[in-house]
Amino acid sequence: MALNNNKEIRIDKRRQLVASLLLRVPGITQRQVCDHLADQGVVNPDTNESYSLGTINNDIQRLRDEWRERAAEEVAERKARILAELDELRRAAWGCGDLDVLLKIQKREADLLGLDAPQRQEVSGPGGAAIDVHDSRFDAALEKVFGVEEDE
């Protein structure tokens, strides 16, 4: 059991280092992570060589999964806090008989929870006309590639 615990501690420490690299060095490749860990003396204790790309890939996937899960939890906690605040505001608005505030609270709650049906949105050009999407660069590319001119 102690060996398994020591291995888990090593994995956690390695993942913390990988996470630190991912956050400090945007765009770092998995190969660069392997090399950086090896340069810091963080190597696979079984082989005494740098960690494999597969190991680092697994670490990165696990970290991203944990980050997504934590972000989802934080959003749920924020929603819960906002809903609790809206409940307090609702009680106060009922006590004052302020119907305008009550309607605003209901609107905010519906927006937060996504209760309203989606609104249809139409986009048009000036005066409701069609949007002009003609691009002369496209015509030039057609002519260059195919030797034809597009009809206007």
Q: 127 in a domain, yes or no?
A: no
Which of 58, 18, 55 minimizes the C-alpha distance to 40? 18
Q: 148 in a domain, yes or no?
A: no
The reported pTM is: 0.54
| Amino acid occupying residue 10 | R
Instruction: Say how far apart CA 59 and CA 50 lie, in whole Å.
Output: 14
3-state DSSP assignment of residue 49: strand
Structure tokens at 136: 């002369």
Q: 107 in a domain, yes or no?
A: yes
The total number of structural domains in the chain stands at 1
By residue range, what is the domain housing residue 57?
2-116
The tens place of each residue's pLDDT in the chain, 152 residues long, gives 455 788 899 999 999 999 999 999 999 999 999 999 999 999 999 999 999 999 999 999 999 999 999 998 899 999 999 999 999 999 999 999 999 999 999 999 999 999 988 888 888 888 888 887 777 787 787 788 887 655 54
